[in-house]
Amino acid sequence: MSIRPPCRTIPGVPALIGLSLTHRTAPLAVRERLALAPAEASDLLAAVVATEAVDEAVAISTCNRIEVYVAGADAGSAEWAAVAALARHAGMSAAALGLRLRALRGRAVADHLFAVASGLDSMVLGEAEILGQLRRAHELAREAGACGPLLDRLLRDALGAGRRVRAGTGIARSGVSVSSAAVELAREALGSLAERPVMLVGAGKSSEVTARVLRSHGVGVLRVANRSHERAAEIARRDGRPVALDDLEAHLAVSDLVIAATACPHALIDAAMVRRAMARRPDRPLVLVDLAVPRDVEPAARDIGGVTLLDLDDVHARVARNRAARQSDVTAARAIAGAEVDRFERWRAARAATPTIAALKHAGDAIVDELLARNAPHWDGLTDADRERVEALARAVARRLLHEPMRRVKQAACEGDTAPERAARDLFGLGTDVKPAAPRVA
């Protein structure tokens, strides 16, 4: 596992640990062995929290990442309990798996997870799908009874940070993949693509990705032309239509957008074919996007009236502009996520004072209860309503007197200062046992 940077330990608060394996740290073959279906994730969480070392656990499993977050009294024991459980699931030794895992503790856990939720750690910068995946992981951990107060707050704050980043920046606006940039250029030329007839020429991986991007833009009339009918049908799916390459010209005449990406060694769409197709649709523009090398569309088609031809140079230029534009968004996104991490860390630090604050409240209530019981025999003339008013007044006075000490103890804990907490325990005779009891979130 990676060398851990120094992290602040908060006395009396469970240690926070994260284990991360992503497309950057492990090949697909390893990620496949660690992938967790929902039932497997539930079993893993149950196994981890069944150990004495771990109090809380959450597991996230996507195509590009497998991550486990745990909380426990001892960081080292909790970390290795999680590693061991993951290794058993993958059929690997804990030592071999540990070489692939990135281990995080303390604030670094929130730094990482909030960046993930913000789309800053995704293969496609700013992608929003991760928010739904985090939400499902949170729900699954709660259903399994593995998500306690610390991880519940961590996940809720991470989701909030992700939403704020997307609302406050343009990080998810501009595409930085070839397919997304190609579709953006087409939208600029045609306007909305919803309900426009679109044709993909070729059925390789590029066309598959492009089909997903097109559907996200509302395209509902999708034709896929390919030599293999089965592969074309697979990409077209139920809402599309596979077509034969021999019928390419006929479909050019009825398509508003054509995106070509084949491995053909020569142009499949020549200028003469485009000219004949345009003669059958004189008042409708046609956008051709050529993503192939060698080209699928003859460059001379660019000179035909009503035709917009975009090639890979155009698309790559758009990707470069989008990447440059996103750098300012990345800086702003990191600032928003960092502020949310600060807020979470203040909350986590304040939990160190929770036992003392609870003890102060208990001491105040005990004094009120004792005085009410001692004086009750002298209040024979009071009605029940009068007794309730006296009790309410006594409890209000106790709360008002204790409010400022409790606020200062909590504020000091947020700043890592335990002196006010010790002083409060001495002044109010609360003792020295400050171990918190952390009930599970149902």
Q: What is the dihedral of CA 60, 61, 62, 67, to 10 degrees?
A: 60
- Asked if residues 269 and 301 have their Cβ atoms less than 8 Å apart, the reply is yes
Amino acid identity, position 252 = L
Strands 15-22 and 102-105: antiparallel
CA dist., res. 127 & res. 129, Å (int): 6
Q: How far is CA 264 from the centre of its chain?
A: 39
Q: Phi and psi of 264, rounded to 5°?
A: -65, 135
Strands (DSSP E) along 3-141, which ranges?
15-22, 56-61, 65-72, 102-105
Query: Is residue 33 a contact partner of residue 88, using CB atoms and an 8 Å limit?
Result: no
Q: How many Å apart are CA 154 and CA 150, to the nearest integer? A: 6
**Cα separation of 67 and 103, whole Å?**
10
Residue 251 CA to residue 269 CA, distance in Å, equals 12
Q: Are strands 15-22 and 65-72 parallel, antiparallel or unpaired?
A: antiparallel
* Active-site amino acid positions: 63
Which residue's structure tokens are 């007044």? Answer: 393
Among residues 334, 343, 328, 324, the alpha carbon closest in space to that of 118 is found at 334
Nearest-angstrom CA–CA distance, 310 and 178: 12
Round to the nearest angstrom and report the end-to-end CA distance of the chain.
33
Strand-pair partners of 201: 225, 260
Q: What is the DSSP string of 86-119?
A: HHHHHT--HHHHHTTPEEEETHHHHHHHHHHHTT
DSSP string, 274-321: HHHHHHT-TTS-EEEEE--SS-SB-GGGGGSTTEEEE-HHHHHHHHHH
Bridge-based pairing state of the strands 102-105 and 197-201: unpaired
